[in-house]
Structure 1
Amino acid sequence: MTQMTKWRRHLHRFPECGFEVPLTADFIAKKLESFGIEVHRNIGQQGIVGVLCCGNGSSSIGLRADMDALFIHEENQFEHRSQHDGKMHACGHDGHSAMLLGAACHLAKEKNFNGNVYFIFQPDEEHGRGAQAMIDDGLFERFHIDAVYSLHNMPGLAEGHLSVRSGSLMASESSFEIIVSGIGSHAAMPHCSVDPIVTGSQIVLGLQTIVSRNLSTIAEKAVISICEFITNGTVNVIPSEVIIKGDCRCFTEDTLQKIEKNMERIVAGICQSAGAQYKFNLTNTFYPTINNAKITQHVIQAATKVIGSDKVDSNCLPLTISEDFSSMLRIKPGSYALLGNGTTSSGGCALHNSKYDFNDRILGIGAQYWVQLVHDQLT
């Protein structure tokens, strides 16, 4: 625990963002090498894979932690606060890395399993690009990983409790932009215009019918949010253009395809009726995080052995937040679980908040969980 706390607080003091995590990656790689673990650097730019083999077994397991921080200025005043202005570990990736390092240290020392463990340290989770970058760089071709697992801290969940579910745990995230082009005019002569504000307003209302009228309320849960409505007009000028931007989330890729198809149908129909032109673009950033049922049972069993069945929620409610581990789950069977960061003090502070801090008291639980999972699957 003492070592993991030191590692975690060191990483917290020197946060790095996106793919630009050279100090973080080097710190982690050197720790793994000091444990006697084979290290592969620069996978998906700054990604690290540590390889630990024991016995003659061919089975393998991949354990993944994220390394990147956020572009947030930290308001905490404790000694290990961020030393990099405008950057902080506000999502607990410092803790995730420290827990996995702790498990790696223990497993390398004890070597009481039979098979191969791959310790995956990933950059740029926050922008949804890191997992795919490692995959595109041959993560699953270079390393023969049977199944992948990941763990994320969860403020608001009781300290040391674990939540998981089979199937969709977290939603996809897609951003969209709609450009409505009309004809501007003086505000005193609206008959001379093709008013993109009126047209855009109808589009905003029309998009709200997708969830309520085009998707199953039971099987196709989704959220569509309009977040920006931008014009090039002014106080007495009807604009010639409106830009509508927003965000949509859902729990299956089929649902996402339905949303995209219906969005463009609505936009095209309203613009045609108004005599306006449009451009529509939807960009998917995160896929739905979908846990494999069999692998999730391994998570539940390992967690139960470590913390007891009373602290394991094996069928938690799905969440509309997103996670780029989902890209790995599209390729390999795996499971993503949530470890309670606590409900009071800094442990209960929301993620992506300038006063957040990872709860060091759960470091040992996370590391024990990883070790137990390896023992259960590689014996």
Structure 2
Amino acid sequence: MENLNNRLESLIRLRKELHKNPELSGKETETAKRIISFLEQYPPDEMQTNVGGTGIIAIYKGAEEGKSILFRCELDALPIKETNSFEHKSIKNTISHKCGHDGHMAILCGLASELYHQQPEKGNVVILFQPAEENGSGAKKVAYDEKFKVLKLDYVFALHNLPEFAKNQIVVKDGTFSCAVKSIIIRLKGKVAHAAEPENGINPAMAIATMIQQFDLKNQYNKSKKDFAVITPVYSSFGQKAYGVSAGKGEVHFTIRCQTNDEMERLSKELENLTEEIAKINQLEFKIKWTDSFHANENNSEANHYIKNASKILVLDVVEKDTPFSWGEDFGLFTQHYPGAMFGLGAGQETPALHHSDYDFPDEIILTGIKLFHQISKEINHAY
């Protein structure tokens, strides 16, 4: 039987090929073809394509009845110009894998190859290659796809590589692992007037300024508090570069982060009410649009236990985090509906930060990701 270590070279080649040919959220057609081509070398018992768009499901069935366990990775890249100069640099000028999804795909392809050579003793292992994580739309599209809905899942798991943590360290957290995140777009409509007679119009400038100030008062930066919230103004505009005109419309955008899904729901309603109040005081019409929504990854304690136990068996260094990560990850939709957990895989303390133009996934951590996912599946079905 082919050894996993012998397959590492082909997995690294695949990772670099994926890195070189990135695709944006919802447009991962060629990426999916590359994954399917790899899986055909290690045929699953069942495979579904075009799940939630470009997604792929591969199922490796056990010899006996047991739990059904899903492991998930992401297909998409980011609209970021790469500044690296290595041979596998992105061939697309403004698109690159700056979150490590190329490495996450390589890990799950490695897991598929391992399951092909070592049939699960019990249960089913479901591998999901999910589209459109970066804009928060992919998990929902997959979850509502009939090909996914027929699966009877007992547990769901995912990992994310983490720069600033030592390579191959495992980062776990009970409860919320990553925050709920979404963005609000507020559009305001007033009345244009001559700049010499602004009293004859309705200018949204003061309303925008008030919103920025009032929203800022809702911030609670202490992550140890239940009402932790970060409300960041990210864009605003009003009027035009016409110095004789008092603006008649404008808009302002904020990104909101909370520790739990319930807290996000509460704060979102509060901000909507505040927007309405400020708009009315300033005699403005308003429209609100929510976008780029990510549920909090609320880790199930039993699922988290399996991660810790598997890490211990593999003699991996485990770091237990006290507070959640403030970034969003749409795997949170799955942990909302199934017992599951997300954990971190250290990518190196000297590795550039995620979403930075010079980031590259470290191939040295691929084997650890594969072995840990595989061990988690074994632990669950040994306990069954």
Both structures adopt the same fold (TM-score exceeding 0.5): yes
Please give the alpha-carbon distance, in whole angstroms, between the structure 2 residues aligned to 1:365 and 1:232. Answer: 54
> 1:306 Cα deviation (Å)?
2.0
Q: Deviations over 1:259-311 (max 9, x none)?
A: 22222322222333333333333335211111111111111111222243xx2
Give the AA of the match of 2:360.
Answer: D
CA distance in 2, matches of 1:75, 1:14: 15
Q: Identify the match of residue 296 of structure 2 among 268, 288, 293.
A: 288
Provide closer, same or farther for how the CA distance between residues 182 and 22 of structure 1 changes in structure 2, counting only shifts above 3 A. Answer: closer
Report SS of the residue matched to 2:361. coil
- Aligned-pair CA distance for 1:85: 3.1
**Cα 1:31–1:217, aligned 2, differ >3 Å: closer, same or farther?**
closer
Cα pair 2:64 2:121 within 8 Å, conserved: no
CA gap of 1:22–1:228, structure 2 versus 1, over 3 A, is closer
2:262 is the alignment partner of 1:254: yes
The amino acid across from 2:42 in the alignment is F
Q: Say whether the 8 Å CA contact 1:18–1:126 is kept in structure 2.
A: yes
Secondary structure at 1:50 match in 2: strand
Identify the residue that residue 362 of structure 1 maps to in structure 2. Answer: 365
* 1:121-160 alignment runs, 5 A limit: 121-160=129-168
1:168–1:252 Cα contact (<8 Å) kept: yes
Whether 1:79 aligns to 2:82 is: no
Instruction: State the SS of the aligned residue for 1:337.
Output: strand
Q: 1:306 aligns with which of 302, 311, 314?
A: 314
CA distance in 2, matches of 1:147, 1:239: 54
- Could you tell me whether the CA contact under 8 Å between 2:175 and 2:300 is conserved in 1? yes
Q: Structure 1: 5+ residue runs without aligned partners?
A: none
1:216 CA drift (Å): 11
Amino acid at match of 2:355: H
3-state SS of paired residue (1:206): helix
- CA deviations over 1:191-247 (Å, ceiling 9, x no partner): 3333321222122212222336xx998211111111222111433432112211111
Residue 5 of structure 2 corresponds to none
Letter in 2 for 1:358: F
Q: Secondary structure, in 3 states, of the residue corresponding to 2:255?
A: strand
Q: Which residue of 1 aligns with 2:3?
A: none
Contact 1:195 1:238 in 2 (8 A): yes
User: Alpha-carbon deviation of 1:117?
Assistant: 0.7
- Matched to 1:159, the amino acid is K
**Aligned equivalent of 1:231, options 234, 238, 244:** 238
Matched, 1:267 2:275: yes
Instruction: Tell me, yes or no, if structure 1 residue 334 matches structure 2 residue 337.
Output: no
* Preserved contact between residue 189 and residue 250 of structure 2 (Cα < 8 Å): yes
CA gap of 1:275–1:25, structure 2 versus 1, over 3 A, is closer
Contact 1:64 1:122 in 2 (8 A): yes
Aligned mates of 1:20, 1:187 — CA distance in 2: 46
Note the C-alpha offset of 1:318: 0.6
What aligned pairs does 1:1-379 form with structure 2 within 5 A after superposition? 1-38=8-45, 39-111=47-119, 113-211=121-219, 218-233=225-240, 234-283=242-291, 285-308=293-316, 311-344=317-350, 348-379=351-382
Distance 2:354 2:57 in 1: 26
- The number of residue pairs the alignment matches comes to 373
Separation in 1, partners of 2:234, 2:149: 40
Asked whether the equivalents of residues 137 and 292 of structure 2 are also in contact (C-alpha less than 8 Å), the reply is no
Distance in 2 (CA, whole Å) between partners of 1:82 and 1:133 is 27
Specify the SS of the correspondent of 2:154.
coil
The code of the aligned residue for 1:337 comes to F
The 1-side partners of 2:83 and 2:326 are apart by 27
The aligned amino acid for 2:67 is S
Counterpart CA distance in 1 for 2:139 and 2:95 is 21
Q: What displacement does 1:112 show?
A: 5.2
AA paired with 1:74?
E
- Once the two structures are TM-superposed, the CA of residue 139 in structure 1 deviates from its matched residue by 4.7
2 CA distance for matches of 1:78 and 1:205?
45
Report the CA distance between 1:78 and its aligned residue. Answer: 1.0
Which amino acid in structure 2 is aligned with residue 368 of structure 1? K
**Greater CA deviation, 362-371 or 104-113?**
104-113
Contact 1:164–1:316, Cα closer than 8 Å, also in 2? no
Residue type of the partner of 2:176?
A: S
Output the amino acid matched with 1:378. Answer: N
Gaps of 5+ in 2: 1-7
**2:291 counterpart SS class:** strand
Change (3 A) 1:282 1:70: closer
CA shift digits 1:344-377 (9 cap, x unpaired) = 2xxx111112211000110111111111112111
Amino acid at match of 2:366: L
Q: Contact conserved, 1:300 with 1:314, CA < 8 A, in 2?
A: no
CA RMSD of aligned residues (A): 2.1
